[in-house]
Structure 1
Amino acid sequence: MAEDMGDVVPFRTPHPLDPADPQVSLIKAAPQPVEPTSVIPGKPYGVPALPPDPAGDTPLTPQWARTRNGWRSRADVARRARIRAARRWVRRQRTEHGQAAQIVRGERRVRAWVAGVDGVQVKAARHGAHVASRQAERAARRARWARLPLVAGKADQAQAEAERAMTAALAAHRTYQTARKNARRGRMIRGSAVYGPTAATFAAAYAEGGGLGLALAALGLCAGCAILGRRLDVEESRDAERTTLGDGDPMTEDMLNRAFREVGLIRGDQSLRLILPSGLDHAGRNWTATLDLPGGLVYDAVKAKEVQLAGALGINRCQLDITKMGREDRISLWAAPSDPFLKARCSPLVGTADRINTWRDGIPMAFTKRGEIIHATVSDYSYLLAGTTRSGKGMGLVNVLAGAVLDPRVNIRLFDGKGTGEYVGIAPVLATYVRRNPARLVEFLRVLAAEMERRADILTDLGLSKASEALLDKLGGIELVIVDELATYTAKKGLSAEYAEEITELLAQIAAVGAALGIVLVLATQVPESDIVPTRLRANCAARWAMRTESADSSNVILGKGKAGDGYDASKIGIEVHNRGRGWLTTPDTGFVEVRSLFIDEKKGELLSVMSAALPIRAEFGSLPGAFRDPVEAELIAITGASSVAGGPDGKGAAVRARTLSVLDHMRQAAEATGRGNVTRAEVFERLAAVDPQYRRADGEDDGTYAARAGRVLAAGLKDLGADVAESRLRLPDGSRPNGWTLDAIESALNVPV
């Protein structure tokens, strides 16, 4: 049950706003004359007053932003901005925007500039010279053939064309030579301008500083190349307008519209309408926005694409939370810069010595992404907790126990199916504690079913359909039945095969009706399968908490058919240590919400410290095990002859046969309880009335009649034991002298040495 929950932080951050301060409006009123003052009267933070603003154009500055906490929040935001900038720089090094890529790009550009563009002219001139030479060669060949007798009369013309072609070829060759010479001279000049100073710098650096000088010169050269290579060779491949929360960009309306369009939630001509501007919370960490959805888009459609929407915003799904704001077309969108469940949070019950009200206020069980504490009431519904080994299920039960022990009206009945000793330490506050005993659980559930009928009769007489807090004392308190590892008792093979079917049926009946009568079940298992948690039993547990499971089917066994397909899939929770206690919780009060259980460190004895704080609370209330009349345990003892109060006589959860106390035993206990060495008749009758109905006062029975009747019943009981206890007249500290018995006389009758 004790599990490492990772780093731990306090469960609540102090709010910088003074609750007494008025709400800040984002709409400026008409300018009003303001008397300049140094401090706003009545403000505990000593907030400086704003200067007069007749024109009404001064930016709105909330009062809390000018307090000490406000400045601390600003500094925190600035620090986070610096950290994010550093992280973005590191991530950029692996891309074409990194410094190494810039240096390579800059060096390439320098070489390209030194080479120049003259090479194109040289190539063009060379091509022209080549073409002119070929033409001159063909013209000379034609001139030679023109001298033959067959083509007489054309020799002069052909010779003239050959001479012109030769002249053009010579001119083209001279142009090529000139272009090549100019290109070489240009490259020499530009190369000297670039490499000359560089070489001189390196030489001077080496002369002055040796190797260190060369390193500094190289660093300077790299810096220069990086500056020259900052711009990409082509148009920016990264969309400058695409901003994401994952890159540290602020949440804006344009970002949200782009993300919703990318995942297909809205069309290109549609846009979201922000009801409240997006901004950071008071801690300066998380982004929030409230917006209206356009064109018939509703909350369920957005929730179904929560994973895709988180990807479009550049964050993980666990960093995004979408909730409905009273209407189907209005949502609240919340985003965190990191996993909000990465660090565990301490339970507020650790270190407290105050009594809590589990019926009205509930037990702090878990926290949501937004840091809100989920309180689970022990009044209206039963609970089902499930998850694989080391998923944090045990920590959920620890939170239930820690809250229940601090409410003295709760009778805790714990049946540990694992059979280990993890609950032995808190046995003194458990009304019933049994380890790995299916037969005992069957007997208990039968008795509890009868107790349920008794409570139903009381409500029927009052004309009520369900219990209320005002009726708890009349009903006998809250019965909280915890079954840890349900598979031990409901598996149809193995230890519980003989009892599994009856246990399942009784649990389903109690879960269906018991909550309305003040009887609440908390069932936990690490085997979330349909034969372990049948549909009828699961359906009657209105509060269900699914921690990490092996498959989507197992998640559906806990949360309901098809819920994994709706996005509530506990099988997608990671196996890492920091995910222990994390899961999907659904109750009639919260709906489906992703949570992580609060942390109580058993290794440090925090659960035992909560129990220690509960002992005086329960002692004062009179609800410690064995100190109050417990009809459930009394009936179990009557049926089985075995007691499981506070884990039984050995306190280790083994139900053992109890020794039946006689009338003399009760008389001796009553005498010992007075501390006077004696006990009056009235005190004996009061003691016996708590364990035997025939000693209770009947309705309308006066003192004399009751004393005479109870005396006759007591005398008959002593006669049956063959005991003769001498009654005497006692002298009490207040001066009265009632009839009663001394402790010596009672012990003599019991044959117990003084």
Structure 2
Amino acid sequence: MTEHTSGHAHQGDDEQPLDLTAFMDADELDRLAADARAAVRGTPAGYADMTTGTVSYPQHTHPAGTLGDEGLVIEQLDQDPGAGAPAPVKVPRPRTAWQDWVPELLISAEARLARRRAIEHAAAHHTRRSHLYLGRLFKAGWYGIRYGTGNLVGHFTAADSYADDIAKAKAAKARKIGEASGNDWVRALKAEKRAEGKARRHETLPVLGAAGATSYVAALLAVAQVWGLIMAGVILLPAMAALMAYGQREHARRHPDLTPVVHFEPATLAADAPLGKDSFESALKRMGLIKETSEIHLVGLPRAVAISAVEMTVELPDECSLAALVAKKDKLAQAFRIRPEWLDIRDGEHSAQVVVWMASANPFGTPFVSPLVDEPVRQDAWGKGILIGFNRRGEPVYLKLAHVMVLLGGASRTGKGMLLRNLICGLGLDPRVNIRLAAGAKPGEHMGYSSVCATFFGRNPRRLVALLDALLAEAYRREDVLARQRRAKFSEKDLAEFPLELAIIDEFAQYITATELVPRPGDPEKAMKAGDRIAEQVEELAGFAAALNITVMLTTQDPDAGTIPRKFKNNSNARVATRTRSAVQTNAILADGATGAGLRAHDIPQELRGAAIVDIDGADGELIRSCFIEDEHYDGAEPIIAAGYALRAAEGRAPGQFADQVEEWLIRATGETSAAGGPNGSGRPGRPAAAVIAAPILDLLLGAFPEGADRVAMADVRKHLADYDADRWGQGDGEERPAYEARVGKQLAAEIEEALAGTPAALESKQVRMPDGKRPTGYLRADVEAARNAARNNPN
């Protein structure tokens, strides 16, 4: 298609495009290209280049590079999809489904159920008020008798026509006392009134009416005499209905500003009305959220979405918004005579649309039994998350543990233990998670979980320091792996090699206030409080370990601003608050300003045990109630934990079945193991045994090195091995010293050779110079660590 400037004719096939870009500098070209892209970006093809809107000139009349006398010819080149340009995008026409033609009541069982509930409520509402309605009907009947009698008398005496005139004449007579004309006027009006009344009484209609009324009364008396008052009452019903209707009409005519005698309170406006357009709109008007002249619009019909709950989608008028509704949520609940936690308001498809959910009974009244009680199946802590409870809508709420730090807090006996119970039971059913549980108060409450815990011990601040040191060491090791692979973080596919390490520190306040002394890092000769060291370690882990599949979860009761380390709180993006005692405690758990945003954990009713406000992925600011797993009459978690252990054992992931870097660190640091709760599973660490944990020989050898030493003598190695397993490495009864030393040396060399099989590394004892100048046979730390790394990286 071609357009021409004014005054010039099209020249046919003798034209060729002229590229004006040859006459432009670089800045002008960039500007032109940007303008061209912007101009066509909204077209179906979205294709922009420098050929959009080119200029042509007749090539046979002008030399190259000149425009000639004809001026410019603006030519729009047609795009040819076959020449490399993208084809225009065809926008499909919206298709109308058959459901769009059918009323929602016919295809939606939820809409039909909501309508049935509304009808049932209306029937019950009016039935409860039937005595009021009956009284109003009798009152209307009385008005009918009174007004009817008065009107009949006024008609047949002509008072309805002359009463006003006679009254005016009497008033004029009173103002003109003594004048005869006033008396004559009154007498004349009265005479006319009597004549008019007499004429009306002789009309046909009054005569027939009187005869009919007499016959009706006679028949009524006869029926009462023969068949009794009940049948007479049936005969009397038409007359009563007529009198009631007449009384209602006359009262409304005479008193238009008053409420009609017979009126019915709309069921949709009752305080206990189910959620609907009229009830919600009335509540908004009473709360002053919308104008009296405004109205809301339903999107679809209200739907019954739970046993006692209804949900509907509405579009709000301009003066109202979602933020205003949330701010007035307590008032709206008051208008419906429900508790605030029974009402939920969320945003819809656009800013003027909201989805309102309301229950007519406590949605948390019945405990939600964990589905794991009946079906303890494998869980997915990383992707789907661990089920911890249900929200008010009955929807499950999952805590995802991918790249997060977790904070759980609340007042004593408000449901933290049950939330933790749900979490550990679910985690036990995911073999990709190493559970490290440090109980701060009473480890006996958690003994039932020990078989699935890679680490479990009771209140022991020094051991927690060692555990966090081990996690830091593991974090730095994993960080080195990521650096070599040029990656930023681990993903789910890495869980097989780098399982999710979850350290749960229960009753964290008991640890952070611990006054036991531990060596100060970097200066072992100096000491510091264990609580201070734990706070430093938690903050350090929170700063970078989440991306390394290492998570720390803190639980605490009666929190305050100083209970949770500041950096940990800032880096924890999964927070759960059971009922707290004050707004300060709520903000200490959830976030500064949480109460101002409506997350008021201190307002959770005391009787609602197990309720919590969660601020986690997929449930921001959600009120939930944790699932119930029996813990008083019997241990309902036992079959779940047993299933979790069986699942882990089948995959070689039960405690003691795999090389546990963290527990090996604890053994080297303390000489005791806490895998599966220690030797007896009670949370008391003890001497390791092969049945509890199988430490690789190279890791065991590293444990023989004194802290901070880079070399160790063979005598110290033999002592360390004997302490680890006296039956295997200790000197037997009657065994000579030289024979014992030779046996241990050969056995140690054989196991080292087996551990390094398939690797280019080798490790043999050698003479090492000790600090005292002696040169006994022994090992260097660097040699042992190199051999251990070679063994771990061995693909075989």
1:113 shift after superposition: 4.1
Counterpart residue number, 1:436: 459
For residues 180-233 of structure 1, give each alpha carbon's deviation from its aligned partner in whole angstroms, at most 9, with x where no partner exists.
xxxxxxxx99999999999998887889xxxxx89x989x99x98999599798
Q: Is the 8 A contact 1:368 1:596 kept in 2?
A: yes
Contact 2:122 2:267 in 1 (8 A): no
Moved more, 514-523 or 636-645: 636-645
**Comparing both chains, which one has the higher relative contact order based on Cα–Cα distances under 8 Å and sequence gaps of 6 or more?**
1
Aligned with residue 756 of structure 2, among 684, 697, 718: 697
Name the SS for the 1:629 alignment partner: coil
- Structure 1 counterpart of 2:102: 60
Choose the corresponding residue for 2:546, options 495, 515, 518.
515
Q: Which residue of 2 aligns with 1:481?
A: 503
- Larger mean CA deviation between 229-238 and 403-412 belongs to 229-238
1:567 paired to 2:598: yes
- The alpha carbon displacement at 1:653 in A equals 1.8
Match of 2:132 among 73, 78, 101: 101
Residues 1:27 and 1:352: Cα distance change in structure 2 (over 3 Å):
same
In structure 1, the residue matched to 2:585 is 554
Who is 1:408 aligned against? 431
Q: Matched residues in 1 for 2:535 and 2:507: separation? A: 13
Q: Is the 8 A contact 1:114 1:190 kept in 2?
A: no
The aligned runs of 1:596-607 (5 Å cut-off) are: 596-602=625-631, 603=633, 605-607=635-637
**How much is the aligned-residue C-alpha RMSD, in angstroms?**
5.9
Deviation at 1:527, TM superposition (A): 1.2
Cα deviation for residue 615 of structure 1 reads 1.7
Deviation digits for residues 405-445 of structure 1, max 9, x if unmatched?
01112111112233163322222111222233334333333
Q: Runs of 5+ in structure 2 lacking a partner?
A: 1-92, 199-209, 253-257, 519-527, 690-721, 731-742, 767-776, 779-796
Choose the corresponding residue for 1:446, options 469, 486, 491.
469
Contact 1:364 1:376 in 2 (8 A): yes
Mean alpha-carbon deviation: is it higher for 566-575 or for 529-538?
Answer: 529-538
Partner Cα separation in structure 1 for residue 329 and residue 100 of structure 2:
39
Aligned-residue offset at 1:619? 0.8
1:525 counterpart residue number: 556
What SS class does the counterpart of residue 659 from structure 2 fall into?
coil
Whether the aligned pair in 1 keeps the contact of 2:317 and 2:352 (CA below 8 Å) is no
Q: Deviations over 1:69-93 (max 9, x none)?
A: x7xx74x866665554444444446
- Tell me what 1:585 maps to: 614
What is the CA-CA distance between 1:333 and the residue it aligns to?
A: 0.7
CA distance in 2, matches of 1:166, 1:469: 108
Q: Distance in 1 between matches of 2:618 and 2:190?
A: 99
Preserved contact between residue 309 and residue 358 of structure 2 (Cα < 8 Å): yes
Letter in structure 2 aligned against 1:696: A
| SS in structure 2 at match of 1:586 | strand
Aligned residue runs from structure 1 range 278-297, under 5 A: 278-280=301-303
User: Are 1:502 and 2:502 counterparts?
Assistant: no
From 663, 666, 687, the equivalent of 1:633 is 663
Equivalent of 2:624, from 579, 589, 595?
Answer: 595
- 1:302 CA drift (Å): 4.9
Quick one: distance in 2 between partners of 1:57 and 1:597? 38
Q: Which residue of 2 aligns with 1:642?
A: 672
What is the CA distance between 1:347 and its match in structure 2? 3.0
Provide the residue aligned with 2:273 in structure 1: 247
Question: How far 1:168 moved relative to its partner?
Answer: 11
The alpha-carbon deviation at position 296 of structure 1 amounts to 9.8
Q: Residue 421 and residue 58 in structure 1: after superposition, are their counterparts in 2 closer, same or farther (change >3 A)?
A: closer
> 2: CA distance between counterparts of 1:299 and 1:607?
42
**In structure 2, C-alpha distance between the alignment counterparts of 1:246 and 1:344, rounded to whole Å:** 25
C-alpha distance in 2 between matches for 1:666 and 1:376: 46
SS in 2 for 1:643: coil
Cα distance, 1:662–1:526 mapped onto 2, change above 3 Å: closer
What SS does structure 1 have at the residue aligned with 2:760? coil
Specify which of 251, 259, 265 is matched with residue 235 of structure 1: 259
**TM alignment of 1:265-284, pairs within 5 A:** 277-280=300-303
Residues 474 and 190 (structure 1), Cα distance of their counterparts in 2 relative to 1, 3 Å cut: same
2:485 is matched with: 462
Cα 1:545–1:688 shift into 2, 3 Å? farther
Equivalent in the alignment of 2:683:
653
Report the secondary structure of 1:349's partner residue.
helix
How many Å separate the matches in 2 of 1:384 and 1:241? 46
Tell me which amino acid in the other structure corresponds to 1:512: G
Q: Shift of residue 268 of structure 1?
A: 7.8
| Cα distance in 2, alignment partners of residues 450 and 514 from structure 1 | 11
Q: 1:241 to 1:87 in 2, by over 3 A?
A: closer
Structure 1 pair 166–376 and aligned structure 2 pair: CA distance change class (3 A): closer
| TM-score after normalising by structure 2 | 0.59
Number of the residue aligned with 1:321: 344
Gaps of 5+ in 1: 1-24, 30-55, 143-157, 179-187, 208-212, 669-680, 711-718, 721-754
1:268–1:636 distance in 2 versus 1, CA, 3 Å:
same
Cα 1:195–1:401 shift into 2, 3 Å: farther
Question: In the alignment, which of 536, 541, 548 is matched to residue 572 of structure 2?
Answer: 541
Deviation at 1:654, TM superposition (A): 2.7
Asked whether the 8 Å contact 1:387–1:526 carries over to 2, the reply is yes
Change in 2 beyond 3 A, CA 1:588/1:495? farther
Count of residue pairs brought into register by the alignment: 598
What SS does the corresponding residue of 2:436 show, helix, strand or coil? Answer: strand
Output the amino acid matched with 2:629: I
Q: Normalising by the residue count of structure 1, what TM-score does the alignment of the two structures yield?
A: 0.62
**CA displacement at 1:624 relative to structure 2:** 1.6
What displacement does 1:381 show?
0.5
Using the TM superposition, give the Cα deviation of residue 697 of structure 1 relative to its aligned residue in structure 2, in angstroms: 1.1
Correspondence for 2:450: 427
Superimposed CA distance per residue, residues 143-165 of structure 1 (whole angstroms, 9 cap, x where no aligned partner): xxxxxxxxxxxxxxx9x999999
1:733 alignment partner in structure 2: none
Q: Counterparts of 1:586 and 1:604 in 2: how far apart (Å)?
A: 32
Given that 1:363 and 1:403 are in contact with CA atoms closer than 8 Å, whether structure 2 keeps it comes out as yes
Q: Relative to structure 1, is the Cα distance of residues 57 and 452 closer, same or farther in structure 2, using a 3 angstrom cutoff?
A: closer
Assess if the C-alpha contact under 8 Å between 2:408 and 2:577 holds in 1.
Answer: yes
CA distance in 2, matches of 1:246, 1:131: 55
**Counterpart of 1:16?**
none
2: CA distance, partners of 1:61 / 1:135: 70
CA distance, structure 1, for counterparts of residue 243 and residue 416 of structure 2: 57
Instruction: Describe the SS at the equivalent of 1:635.
Output: helix
Letter in 2 for 1:541: S
**Percent identical:** 28
Q: In structure 1, the residue corresponding to 2:561 is in which secondary structure?
A: coil
CA drift at 1:607: 1.7
Q: How far is 1:380 from its partner?
A: 0.9
- For residues 110-164 of structure 1, the C-alpha deviation after alignment (integer angstroms, 9 at most, x for no partner) is 444445565696999999999999999xx9x99xxxxxxxxxxxxxxx9x99999
Q: Which of the numbers 373, 391, 413 marks the counterpart of 2:396?
A: 373
Asked if the contact 1:286/1:334 (under 8 Å) is kept, the reply is no
- Tell me if structure 2 keeps the 8 A contact 1:688–1:695: yes
- Following TM superposition, by how much is the alpha carbon of 1:555 offset from its aligned partner in structure 2, in angstroms? 1.8
The CA deviation at 1:634 is: 2.8
* Pair 452,366 (structure 1): closer, same or farther in 2 beyond 3 Å: same
Q: Is the 8 A contact 2:576 2:614 kept in 1?
A: yes
CA separation of 1:664 and 1:643: change in aligned 2, threshold 3 A: closer
Query: Is residue 608 from structure 1 mapped to residue 667 from structure 2 by the alignment?
Result: no
1:172-251 alignment runs, 5 A limit: 228=244, 234-235=258-259, 247-248=273-274, 250-251=276-277
